[in-house]
Structure 1
Amino acid sequence: MANQFCKLEFHKYGASRLDTFTSQVKNGIYTNPTVFVTPPVSEGDFSRTQETFNAAAADYTTYGITKKTAYLNAKNNLLEELDSLAAYVDTTADGDVSIIALSGFEPSKETYQRATPLDKIETFLLKRTNVAGQIIIEIPVISNKGTVNYCCVCSEGVPIANPELSNGQIILEQGDPQVRQDFNKSRRKVFNGLTPGTVYYFYVFATNTVSVSPISDPKNLMAA
């Protein structure tokens, strides 16, 4: 029997239809907390992302190409959060069409090749650039694990004492340094505005539809 999953047709939607679909998903997931207990995106954050997208879409309609970049960035942010929620619903539903429909997503009619759990990322590269305060992180590709999203956390000056993840988010203890995060899915991360002469510690991990990998051991590099 085919195991169904959330279709990602919303990537092709225009602004108005995407807004309607987003509201549908928001209503499906956040009004059913007994089924969707721990969504990876909070309702407040999801609402703010939708509001930002709608404002950017309105500006783009009014002012044209001068607002296109802002609109595309806002749309990409919304699509990333929808992708994250779709992956979460796939895991929660485990092929149950009624749960997928309840979430607001549309179930597929195709066989779903379930992803396998992710292992700890053992190696990744750090490098400075000619831009002051910029460090780039390159994470090796993870194959045969389904759709993989790549994440990076950066701490300034000192490492995180006991880095742990919960639902794909870094958990900090009192006294831990402030961190910067890049969860934009890409294997290439770019951190800007770092303080020259300061050492930064970088941690990476990955997510797919069934798991979050353990967080990596830190690597450090001084910003220039």
Structure 2
Amino acid sequence: MHLVAPSLLAADFLHLGAACQIVNESDADWFHLDIMDGRFVPNISYGMSIVEQIHSVAKKPCDVHLMIEEPERYVPEFKKVGADHITVHWEACRHLHRNVQQIKSLGMKAGVAINPATPVDFLQAILPELDIVLVMSVNPGFGGQTFISHTFQKVRKLRKMIHDLGAHTHVMVDGGISVDNASAIVAAGADVLVAGSTVFHAPDPIRAIGQLKNA
């Protein structure tokens, strides 16, 4: 069955502990933590201290998505504060293989994210090394955006590439995921659904997570 990773970016940060409890008590599989630096994306979110606090109460893996320039400078610190997986952006890494090696050498699962305009073919050489490929289905930087329909084609192509290479890479999709489109995204080949607004803006977040899990 596919996994669900609620994005804490959409949570009420005045009640972050309550949001973490929701994820812990729900059918969710991972905590998804979006780190933005105001350079790679036009927004700033939070950093190591918040990740450390989330990790201190999390009963599920912390999946850290670095939407930042020069991620190699910060990977060791995110490991120290509790990251179980780290995903970096293809567009932000000059030496992608070195970035992936760094993450793995620290004992974490390694992922690479691609923006909506980045072809999945660019990952051909590195794909067997990856635990996760994160296909952005919106332009990164802000929550609550509309799902870009071209993502379906990218996910199907990526799934075929993984199969043909005999790799064991998770296909994660992030952005604009709702209860209405989740089934189609999974059918296209997604293994992991990241959802922020759909979960934390719902009247009953635990029920919303369950609906995504059962898509």
Q: TM-score, normalised by structure 2?
A: 0.28
Greater helix fraction, Structure 1 or Structure 2 = 2
The structure having more radius of gyration, on CA atoms, is 1
